Amino acid sequence: MPALMGQLLIGLINGSFYALLSLGLAVIFGLLNIINFTHGAQYMLGAFVAWFLLNQLGLGYWWALAIVPVALAVFGMLIERLMLKHLYKLDHLYGLLLTFGLALMIEGLFTQRFGSAGMPYSMPGKLTGGYALGFMFLPTYRAWVIAASLAICLTTWFVIERTKLGSYLRAATENPSLVQAFGVNVPRMITLTYGFGVGLAGLAGVFAAPIYQVSPQMGSSLIIVVFAVVVIGGMGSIMGSIVTGFGLGVVEGLTKYFYPEASSTVIFVIMAIVLMIRPQGLFGQR
Amino acid sequence: MRTKHKLWAALAALGFAAGAAQAQISGNTVKIGVLSDMSSLYADIGGPGSVVAAKMAVEDFEKAHHPKFKIEVVGADHLNKPDVGSQIARKWYDEEGVDVIVDVPNSGVALAVSQVTREKNKAFIGSGPGSSDLTGAKCSPNTIHWVYDTWMLANGTGTAVVKTGGDTWFFITADYAFGHALERDATNAVTKAGGKVLGGVKVPLNTQDFSSFLLQAQASKAKIIGLANAGGDTINSIKQAAEFGIVKGGQHLAGLLVFLSDVHGIGLEKAQGLILTENFYWDRNDKSRAWSKRFAALDNNKMPTMVHAGVYTSVLEYLAAVSALGSDDGGKVIAEMKKKPFDDPLFGKSYVREDGRNVHDAYLFQVKTPAESKGPYDYYKLLATIPADQAFRPLKDGGCALVK
């Protein structure tokens, strides 16, 4: 039993990464109708920018938490303005191909420059150590990641679903020309939204840097799982991606305990089942 | 007139014979295929660096011997998938005139390539793969296992750790051919040295998060957590073990296969004190230093791993055998390479056994503390040299059908 409690908690920790990343994807898909395959590469860039800030400019983790999301958001907005903008009228497939190609290019360039073993990023001094919970040892840093990511996810949900700004955003996806007629600058709103989604990916990258290796493939190994999370939760559903992210983290954690060999496939098995029974996803609307 | 005629005939015969000897090297070109993981978790162990090493060997061989045949090097990415690896091998052998495949990290891919190579009677010299099955139950007259294997690692590190009191083990194992072989060989070494294995967990290849598995290892109360994995997997397990207070809790990690590039990636802060077995370290003697500095200049200032060194010397030896034999027939060249001992420029005195095992010294190293290290890549101190005749599995124990 104590072992199981530990696995549950660890599942929640991994789930918080899934939730953060799938949230960004859901926001982007919900408002832009773009399947952002660059998300994994943008998460990786977040970790690399944090590494760069620390090793080249001497700016530590807390600075990275503030700077990286903004830097990545700007990068995202550039991509949106220069490339994605031209694809909105075309089929989903074009956006998917463009973002997938971008991801491959970014990852290729970083592998070429930094190699695959990756870079170490040391943990911020205040967050080292941990708590003995009886059933397991909880590193302080992981506790911080759960708390921070939960706070960010819920705030995002609140802003989009419960505030006036959020209602503009949602209205713009339903009927952009009408919202435009009310004097709202829809293209700018879309640019900012994409920037926000990418910023979230960057932030997740900073969270990941001290635990995982800062390496060019860190995004590609995670992004497929995150896409499965979005599909299971329901494309474009904000709450769906948050709940599914945490939930699947737990399911994966339990699999790692009961049948570790299947831990990398269990999420896709669930995805297949969900698609058969409820194709719009658990929280999606028909 | 008649004598003149005879002379012409003799000359023609000579020319024909020479022509025939020439024709034994197909297209008068020896083509070397570097098959590796170019983009994922093993890319720093072999990868693009292995292509660099193979090209260095060709350059050095041409400079020293001025061979009459042409030499080409090609590279490809096997994506760590045995089916992709054997497809590339078939295409290389059938359509592109490749004579020998080198490197091939990932034992799953290497076993598949060894099979294809045997079918096509070409040559395969593996520096990257670990599984000792390559020279055991699955040995082949067309394959040489060049640098290290799981038996050597398990015997070197496993025995040394048990001797220092680490007599109860729990394994975190990469769930494919290499991890299985390493766990099996390490279990044997540990039991033989008087230790006991309490349990283990098999983890899918290329996993990001090891915390669940580390927690299980912690619960086992074993003194030693044996990491039967490699590359990115080893890096992530060691980093996260530090985070979960494994070492502070009194348990120790034994990285059964740790490469120089892994230590570089983990950083000395977390890697210090690790005991590991390798056959090559760049800072071991003048020759290795000189070669490694040349290599680093060509590969983004990264120091070579033992796999890179292996690719270099295996290509050199292969070319020497082709040249001596005047043929690129895979089976014959491999047999030629087994004929006599040689002085390897980087691994020292070596010989290739009947089962395809290249035998040379192995070294037990310990990773330096940050205070001991003088700078990047100054990472290892030598604990012991394991002489060649003890470093590898005895010939009779492997179960290789080539051994009579």
Tell me the chain B residues in contact with residue A14 when contact means C-beta distances shorter than 8 Å: 209, 211
How does DSSP classify residue B27?
A: G
**pLDDT tens figures, B214-232:** 999 998 999 999 999 998 8
Q: How far is B218 from chain A (nearest CA, A)?
A: 9
Q: How far is B204 from chain A (nearest CA, A)?
A: 6
Tell me whether 0.95 is exceeded by the ipTM.
no
For residue A210, pLDDT over 50 is answered with yes
How does DSSP classify residue B155?
A: I
Q: For residue B237, what is the nearest residue in chain A, using CA coordinates? A: A212
Interface size A-B, in CB pairs within 8 Å, comes to: 116
**How do B143-145 and B70-77 pair as beta strands?**
unpaired
Range name among B25-29, B339-343, B351-355 with the lowest pLDDT average: B25-29
Across the strands, what pairs with B224? B169, B252
Token reading at B354: 């009947």
**Cβ separation of A260 and B236 shorter than 8 Å?**
no
For residue A236, pLDDT over 90 is answered with no
Q: Which of A256, A264, A266, A268 to mutate to test the interface with B (most CBs of B within 10 A)?
A: A256
Q: Which of B175, B209, B236 sits opposite A14 (nearest CB)?
A: B209
Tell me the chain A residues in contact with residue B80 when contact means C-beta distances shorter than 8 Å: none
Q: Is the CB of residue B71 less than 8 Å from the CB of residue B288?
A: no
Token reading at A102: 């971008």
Domain boundary assignment for chain A: 2-277
For residue B333, pLDDT over 50 is answered with yes
> Concatenated DSSP letters for A166-201?
HHHHHHHHH-HHHHHHTT--HHHHHHHHHHHHHHHH
**Cβ separation of B212 and A212 shorter than 8 Å?**
no
Q: What is the pLDDT of residue A29?
A: 86
What's the CATH number for A2-277? Answer: 1.10.3470
Per-residue b/e over B156-195, b at no fewer than 16 CB within 10 Å?
bbbbbbbeeebbbbbbbbbbbbbbbbbbbbbbbbbeebeb
Q: Which of A120, A215, A257 sits opposite B212 (nearest CB)?
A: A257
Q: What is the pLDDT of residue B315?
A: 97
Q: Count CB atoms within 10 A of the CB of residue B41.
A: 29
Q: For residue A253, what is the nearest residue in chain B, using CA coordinates? A: B212
- Mean pLDDT score of chain A: 90
Contact of A256 with chain B, judged by CB distance below 8 Å, is answered with yes
Range name among A37-51, A217-231, B17-31, B385-399 with the lowest pLDDT average: B17-31
Token reading at B9: 């005939």
Contact of A14 with chain B, judged by CB distance below 8 Å, is answered with yes
Q: Which of B47, B235, B243 sits opposite A213 (nearest CB)?
A: B235
Helices A186-208, A39-57: crossing angle, 10 deg rounding: 60
Contact of A10 with chain B, judged by CB distance below 8 Å, is answered with yes
**Superfamily holding B29-148+284-361:** Response regulator (3.40.50.2300)
Q: What is the pLDDT of residue B2?
A: 56
Q: For residue B204, what is the nearest residue in chain A, using CA coordinates? A: A261
For residue A130, pLDDT over 90 is answered with no
Q: How far is A27 from chain B (nearest CA, A)?
A: 25
Domain boundary assignment for chain B: 29-148+284-361, 151-278+362-391
Give me the amino acid identity at B193.
A
Q: What is the pLDDT of residue B17?
A: 47
**Cβ separation of A260 and B213 shorter than 8 Å?**
yes
> Concatenated DSSP letters for B384-402?
EEE-HHHHS--GGGS--TT
**pLDDT tens figures, A144-164:** 999 999 999 999 999 988 999
d(CA B176, CA A255): 18
Q: Is the CB of residue B105 less than 8 Å from the CB of residue B82?
A: no
CA-CA-CA-CA torsion for A208, A209, A210, A212, nearest 10 degrees?
70
Q: Which of B45, B209, B247, B262 to mutate to test the interface with A (most CBs of A within 10 A)?
A: B209
**Cβ separation of A116 and B202 shorter than 8 Å?**
no
Instruction: Give me the mean pLDDT over the A203-217 stretch.
Output: 91
Q: Do domains B29-148+284-361 and B151-278+362-391 have the same CATH topology?
A: yes
Contact of A123 with chain B, judged by CB distance below 8 Å, is answered with yes
Name the pLDDT band for A63 (thresholds 50, 70, 90): very high
Q: How far is B175 from chain A (nearest CA, A)?
A: 7
- Fold of domain B151-278+362-391: Rossmann fold (3.40.50)
**Cβ separation of A139 and B39 shorter than 8 Å?**
no
**Cβ separation of B244 and A139 shorter than 8 Å?**
yes
The B-side interface with A (CB below 8 A) comprises 37, 39-44, 47, 175, 201-204, 206-209, 211-213, 215-216, 218-219, 231-232, 235-236, 239-240, 243-245, 249, 261-262, 264-267, 269-270, 300, 302
**Cβ separation of B232 and A115 shorter than 8 Å?**
no
Q: Which of A115, A122, A136 sits opposite B43 (nearest CB)?
A: A115
Beta strands in chain A (DSSP E): 130-132, 137-139
Instruction: Give me the mean pLDDT over the B383-397 stretch.
Output: 94
Identify which of A50, A28, A190 has the alpha carbon closest to the alpha carbon of residue A119. Answer: A50
d(CA B32, CA B21): 20
**Cβ separation of B212 and A7 shorter than 8 Å?**
yes
Q: Which of A111, A116, A253 sits opposite B232 (nearest CB)?
A: A116
Q: What is the pLDDT of residue B15?
A: 47
Instruction: Give me the mean pLDDT over the B369-388 stretch.
Output: 94
Q: Which of B206, B209, B215 sits opposite A6 (nearest CB)?
A: B215
**Cβ separation of A217 and B236 shorter than 8 Å?**
no
Q: Is the CB of residue A159 less than 8 Å from the CB of residue A167?
A: no
Across the strands, what pairs with B253? B225
Q: Which of A117, A222, A256 sits opposite B44 (nearest CB)?
A: A117
Q: Is the CB of residue B186 less than 8 Å from the CB of residue B171?
A: yes
Contact of A40 with chain B, judged by CB distance below 8 Å, is answered with no
Higher pLDDT, B244 or A236: B244
Range name among A51-55, A171-175, B376-380 with the lowest pLDDT average: A171-175
**pLDDT tens figures, B279-328:** 999 999 999 999 999 999 999 899 999 999 999 999 999 999 999 999 99
Q: What is the pLDDT of residue B61?
A: 97
Instruction: Give me the mean pLDDT over the A264-270 stretch.
Output: 92
**pLDDT tens figures, B168-198:** 999 999 999 999 999 999 999 999 999 999 9
Q: What is the pLDDT of residue A1?
A: 66
Contact of A258 with chain B, judged by CB distance below 8 Å, is answered with no
**pLDDT tens figures, B2-61:** 555 665 555 555 444 444 444 488 889 999 999 999 988 899 999 999 999 999 999 999
Return the top range by mean pLDDT from A93-97, A110-114, B254-258. B254-258
Higher pLDDT, B6 or A199: A199
Tell me the chain B residues in contact with residue A222 when contact means C-beta distances shorter than 8 Å: 208
Tell me the chain A residues in contact with residue B264 when contact means C-beta distances shorter than 8 Å: 117
d(CA B332, CA B319): 13
Tell me the chain A residues in contact with residue B37 when contact means C-beta distances shorter than 8 Å: 116
Instruction: Give me the mean pLDDT over the A239-259 stretch.
Output: 92
**Cβ separation of A215 and B40 shorter than 8 Å?**
no
Q: What is the pLDDT of residue B143?
A: 97
Tell me the chain A residues in contact with residue B203 when contact means C-beta distances shorter than 8 Å: 260, 263
Identify which of B150, B264, B205 has the alpha carbon closest to the alpha carbon of residue A116. Answer: B264
Q: Which of A122, A213, A224, A225 to mutate to test the interface with B (most CBs of B within 10 A)?
A: A213
